[in-house]
Structure 1
Amino acid sequence: MATELTPPGADPTRIHNIGYRKYDGPRLGRAYARRSLYSQSLRGAYGLGRSAKSKVLPMILFGVMVLVAAIIVAVAVAAPAGTMTKLPVSYTAFAIFLQPVISLYLAAQAPQTVSRDLRFKAVPLYFSRPIERRDYVLAKFGAMASALFLLTAAPLVVLYAGALLAEFDFADQTKGFGQGLVSVALLSVLFAGLGLVMAALTPRRGFGVAAVIAVLTISYGAVSTVQAIAYTQEATGAVEWLGLFSPITLIGGVQTAFLGATSSFPGGSGPGAGAGVVYLLVVLALIAGSYAVLMRRYRKVGL
Structure 2
Amino acid sequence: MAVEQPTATPGDQTRIHNIGYRGYDGPRLGRAYARRSLYSQSLRGAYGLGRSLKSKVLPMLLFVVMCVPAAVMVAVAVATKMKDLPVDYTRYAIIMQGVISLYVASQAPQSVSRDLRFRTVPLYFSRPIETADYVRAKYAALASALFALTAAPLLVLYAGALLAKLDFAAQTEGFAQSLVSVALLSLLFAGIGLVIAAVTPRRGFGIAAVIAVLTISYGAVSTLQAIAVSQGSTGAVAWIGLFSPITLIDGVQTAFLGATSSFPGGTGAGPSRAEGVVYVLAVLGLVAASHGLLMRRYKKVGL
TM-score range, shorter chain: over 0.9
Task: Provide the residue aligned with 1:270 in structure 2.
Answer: 270
Task: Provide the residue aligned with 1:43 in structure 2.
Answer: 44
Give the Å deviation of 1:249: 0.2
Stretches of structure 2 that go unaligned for 5 or more consecutive residues are: 1-6
Structure 2 length normalisation: TM-score? Answer: 0.95
Give the Å deviation of 1:7: 4.2
Identity rate of aligned residues, in percent? 76
Give the Å deviation of 1:85: 1.8
1:218-229 residue pairs with structure 2 within 5 A? 218-229=216-227
1:190 to 185, 188, 191: 188
Give the Å deviation of 1:110: 0.3
1:68 counterpart = 2:78: no
Task: Provide the residue aligned with 1:291 in structure 2.
Answer: 291
| Deviation readout 1:86-138 (Å, 9 max, x if unpaired) | 11111100000000000000000000000010000000010112011000000
> For residues 44 and 66 of structure 2, what CA distance do their matches in structure 1 show?
19
> For residues 13 and 261 of structure 1, what CA distance do their matches in structure 2 show?
79
Give the Å deviation of 1:229: 1.1
Q: What secondary structure, in the 3-state scheme, does the structure 2 residue paired with 1:266 have?
A: coil
Q: What secondary structure, in the 3-state scheme, does the structure 2 residue paired with 1:15 have?
A: coil
1:92-111 residue pairs with structure 2 within 5 A? 92-111=90-109
Stretches of structure 1 that go unaligned for 5 or more consecutive residues are: 1-5
Task: Provide the residue aligned with 1:301 in structure 2.
Answer: 301
Structure possessing the higher radius of gyration over alpha carbons: 2
Give the Å deviation of 1:19: 2.9
Q: Give the paired residue count.
A: 295
Q: What secondary structure, in the 3-state scheme, does the structure 1 residue paired with 2:87 have?
A: coil
Task: Provide the residue aligned with 2:132 in structure 1.
Answer: 134
Give the Å deviation of 1:8: 3.3
Give the Å deviation of 1:49: 0.2
| Deviation readout 1:197-225 (Å, 9 max, x if unpaired) | 00000000011101111111111111111
Task: Provide the residue aligned with 1:114 in structure 2.
Answer: 112
Task: Provide the residue aligned with 2:200 in structure 1.
Answer: 202
Task: Provide the residue aligned with 2:230 in structure 1.
Answer: 232
Q: What secondary structure, in the 3-state scheme, does the structure 2 residue paired with 1:96 have?
A: helix
Q: What secondary structure, in the 3-state scheme, does the structure 1 residue paired with 2:265 have?
A: helix
Q: What secondary structure, in the 3-state scheme, does the structure 2 residue paired with 1:267 have?
A: coil
Give the Å deviation of 1:11: 5.8
The amino acid that maps onto 2:93 is: A
The amino acid that maps onto 2:152 is: A
The amino acid that maps onto 2:229 is: Y
| Deviation readout 1:53-107 (Å, 9 max, x if unpaired) | 000000000001111110111111111x4xx321111110000000000000000
> For residues 196 and 273 of structure 2, what CA distance do their matches in structure 1 show?
31
1:157 counterpart = 2:158: no
The amino acid that maps onto 2:40 is: S
> For residues 137 and 13 of structure 1, what CA distance do their matches in structure 2 show?
47
> For residues 241 and 13 of structure 1, what CA distance do their matches in structure 2 show?
77
Mean Cα deviation higher: 229-238 or 11-20: 11-20
The amino acid that maps onto 1:293 is: L
Task: Provide the residue aligned with 2:279 in structure 1.
Answer: 279
Mean Cα deviation higher: 292-301 or 24-33: 24-33
1:169-180 residue pairs with structure 2 within 5 A? 169-180=167-178
Give the Å deviation of 1:148: 0.0
> For residues 11 and 204 of structure 2, what CA distance do their matches in structure 1 show?
60
Mean Cα deviation higher: 234-243 or 9-18: 9-18
Task: Provide the residue aligned with 1:3 in structure 2.
Answer: none
Q: What secondary structure, in the 3-state scheme, does the structure 2 residue paired with 1:49 have?
A: coil
Structure 1 length normalisation: TM-score? Answer: 0.95
When the two chains are superposed, the root-mean-square deviation of aligned CA atoms in Å is 1.3
Task: Provide the residue aligned with 2:3 in structure 1.
Answer: none
> For residues 75 and 172 of structure 2, what CA distance do their matches in structure 1 show?
19
